[in-house]
Amino acid sequence: MRPYLLPVLLAFGTLAHAQQVPVIDYGFLAVPPSTVVNKVVVQPDGKVLVGGSFSNYAGSGRQNLVRLLSDGTLDPDWNPGGTGPGHLVEDIDLMPDGRILIAGAFTAYNGRPIHFVARLLPNGLPDTTFNIPANAINGAVHAVALHKDGKVLAAGDFFLCYGHSRPYITRFNHDGSLDQGFDIGTGFNDAVYDLVVLPGQGILCAGKFTAYNGNPCGRVARLTSGGPYDPSMGNVPGFAGGPARALVLQPDSQLLVAGDFNLHHALSANGIARLHLDGTRDPSFTSPFYPYAQVRAMAVLPDGRIMVGGEYTASMYQPAVEGPNAITLLHGDGSRDDGFPIGQGALPASGLPAAAIRSLAAQDDGKVVAGGQFGAIDTETQYRQLVRLQLAATAVAETDGPGAWRVFADREAGTVLLSDPFGGTGAADLQVHNSTGQLVLQARLNLAGQPVVRVPANLAPGPLFISLRQGGQRAVAKVMW
């Protein structure tokens, strides 16, 4: 039995009728970054880029940006001999040829002057054909995106670029020089926090702003590919009560918007909403949050569910039913998926008042990498700032035995893990039936001195009905395999 599974099953809280099991991917062996993770991106090869504000990652001397192998261990061949950005990284964007765009508040990379936006080669070394010199941008860059013809969009808290007025958004040519043909007029009237490039090269922006080049647009705006305001998205009055922080374009071209807001077009929209690209609200989507929840990150899963994270507590749900802190799984209509077994969710790091999830990245296999600033995931204090969740392992057990029963269907390992509901009093008989009632597994288990037993199970996918008997006592469970 893998030693890291046992304490997780034993530490999870007891419920009277239903017991849920954490879905942490314990095979993801990342060392906790020291301070905060702002961005996680999964590459097509399964490797994971992690950017933020941290130092000497895993004793490597690398800071603020690293690449991990698919198992979470540091990729020693990436950025060979380098230390990385000299200050925090806020955003990462992948280019089709394997190069990488990064943005933040750094002024050096591997000790070489590089200011706020950098383009990296696939091996992590700086691409010296792209250069933004000192003082070319007068404020931090929060978001970066590859645009048409290899040009680079950047948005943030700046208002000057190469000495030209560029309020909060600009575009660079392939070599890092200013693209003076990108026509933003007077630009935004306040900060931009996120960018999405549409299939036709139009640009969606989210932030603190309420206008673009004199056009009212409440915290979300659509620009044409050349920079002018695109009136096909009408977002007036738009979002109110706080800025929009993140955008995700769903496969069906609907737009998820997250932030600190509580209204959209004067109607309730707490922390998250879904829009059509014309700016109208999708009425089939309803936020599960209380008005002051701050949502910072979103990821759409392959099955259509939506993982969200931010800076909110267990009491910030509406209706007022407590849920996990800072990270939540939603159904496609925005309702909370209460079968997501994350326990208390993300808990604060030592000395901080609240936990924060800053970035979420969904893998093709349904796993989700989460980064932020937190000191534990439920009871698991070894997961700080970075964790990978394995939603496919979800299991809910229902018991009529003498106590709550912990059951974990670990399909990847080909095993079922069972806790002892009978108090360690000897052997018990296990039977597992499939959805048609066929007996697919039976075994005599020795429970004495073994609070958790791992049973090999080579079974077909689908629901399993599990029964454990000892004398006149019985515990039953239904899990998905």
Residue 401 shares a structural domain with residue 378: no
Confidence at residue 402, expressed as pLDDT on a 0 to 100 scale: 43
Q: Omega before 7 cis (within 30°)? A: no
Residue 184 shares a structural domain with residue 333: yes
Contact present, 116 and 108 (Cβ < 8 Å): no
Contact present, 358 and 36 (Cβ < 8 Å): yes
Q: How far, in Å, CA of 279 to CA of 178, rounded?
A: 30
Report DSSP letters for 326-346, one per residue: SEEEE-TTS-B-TT---TTBE
Q: Which long-range contacts (CB under 8 A, 24 or more apart) does 123-131 make?
A: 123/77, 123/78, 123/79, 123/80, 124/67, 124/78, 124/79, 124/80, 124/82, 124/100, 125/79, 125/80, 125/82, 127/99, 129/174, 129/175, 130/172, 130/174, 130/175, 130/176, 131/175, 131/176
Contact present, 320 and 368 (Cβ < 8 Å): no
Output the six-digit token pair for 260.
Answer: 């600190």
Residue 467 shares a structural domain with residue 331: no
The strands making up 192-197's β-sheet, listed across from edge to edge, are: 192-197, 203-207, 220-223
pTM of the prediction? 0.79
CA angle 257, 258, 259 (to 5 degrees): 130
Output the six-digit token pair for 353.
Answer: 């008042």
Does 6 reside within a domain? Answer: no
Residue 295 shares a structural domain with residue 340: yes
> What's the CATH code of the domain at 250?
2.130.10.10
Does 172 reside within a domain? Answer: yes
> Domain range holding 158?
23-391
At which of 364, 391, 418 does a domain end?
Answer: 391
Q: How far, in Å, CA of 243 to CA of 260, rounded?
A: 6
Residue 275 shares a structural domain with residue 372: yes
For 469, the enclosing helix (H) or strand (E) is strand 463-470
Q: Omega before 283 cis (within 30°)? A: no
Nearest CA to 189 out of 164, 170, 208 is that of 208
pLDDT per residue as tens digits for the range 128-170 = 999 999 999 999 999 999 999 999 999 999 999 999 999 999 9
Q: How far, in Å, CA of 99 to CA of 89, rounded?
A: 16
In 3-state terms, what secondary structure has residue 207? Answer: strand
Does 2 reside within a domain? Answer: no
Does 67 reside within a domain? Answer: yes
Does 125 reside within a domain? Answer: yes
Residue 245 shares a structural domain with residue 196: yes
Residue 58 shares a structural domain with residue 195: yes
At which of 352, 372, 391 does a domain end?
Answer: 391
Residue 382 shares a structural domain with residue 448: no
Task: Judge residue 235's burial from the number of C-beta atoms within 10 Å of its C-beta, 0-12 exposed, 13-18 middle, 19 or more buried.
Answer: buried
Residue 259 shares a structural domain with residue 345: yes
Residue 364 shares a structural domain with residue 403: no
Residue indicated by tokens 């090269």: 201
Q: Bin 221: left if φ > 0, else alpha if -120 < ψ < 50, else beta.
A: beta
Q: Total domain count for the chain?
A: 2
Q: Bin 81: left if φ > 0, else alpha if -120 < ψ < 50, else beta.
A: left
Tens of pLDDT, residue by residue, the chain (481 residues): 232 222 222 222 222 223 333 588 888 999 999 999 999 999 999 999 999 999 999 999 999 999 999 999 999 999 999 999 999 999 999 999 999 999 999 999 999 999 999 999 999 999 999 999 999 999 999 999 999 999 999 999 999 999 999 999 999 999 999 999 999 999 999 999 999 999 999 999 999 999 999 999 999 999 999 999 999 999 999 999 999 999 999 999 999 999 999 999 999 999 999 999 999 999 999 999 999 999 999 999 988 999 999 999 999 999 999 999 999 999 999 999 988 889 899 999 888 899 999 999 999 888 999 999 999 999 888 899 999 998 754 333 444 444 456 777 777 678 887 777 777 667 888 888 776 667 788 888 887 766 677 888 888 877 777 878 887 677 777 777 7
Does 28 reside within a domain? Answer: yes
Tell me phi and psi for residue 57, to 5 degrees. Answer: -60, 125
Count of residues for the chain? Answer: 481
Q: How far, in Å, CA of 143 to CA of 137, rounded?
A: 14
Q: How far, in Å, CA of 193 to CA of 143, rounded?
A: 6
Contact present, 165 and 187 (Cβ < 8 Å): yes
Does 9 reside within a domain? Answer: no
pLDDT per residue as tens digits for the range 461-481 = 777 778 788 876 777 777 777
Output the six-digit token pair for 208.
Answer: 């603190």
Nearest CA to 347 out of 358, 357, 337, 339 is that of 357
In 3-state terms, what secondary structure has residue 288? Answer: coil
Residue 279 shares a structural domain with residue 422: no
Does 375 reside within a domain? Answer: yes
At which of 350, 366, 391 does a domain end?
Answer: 391
Residue 291 shares a structural domain with residue 197: yes
Confidence at residue 17, expressed as pLDDT on a 0 to 100 scale: 27
Output the six-digit token pair for 222.
Answer: 């659509």
Output the six-digit token pair for 131.
Answer: 């250069």
> What's the CATH code of the domain at 410?
2.60.40.3080
Q: How far, in Å, CA of 200 to CA of 431, rounded?
A: 56
Output the six-digit token pair for 12.
Answer: 């999870």
Q: Which residues contact 416 (CB under 8 A, 6 or more apart)?
A: 407, 408, 409, 410, 432, 454, 455, 457, 464, 466, 479
Measured over the CA atoms of residue 370, residue 374, residue 379 and residue 380, the dihedral's sign is positive
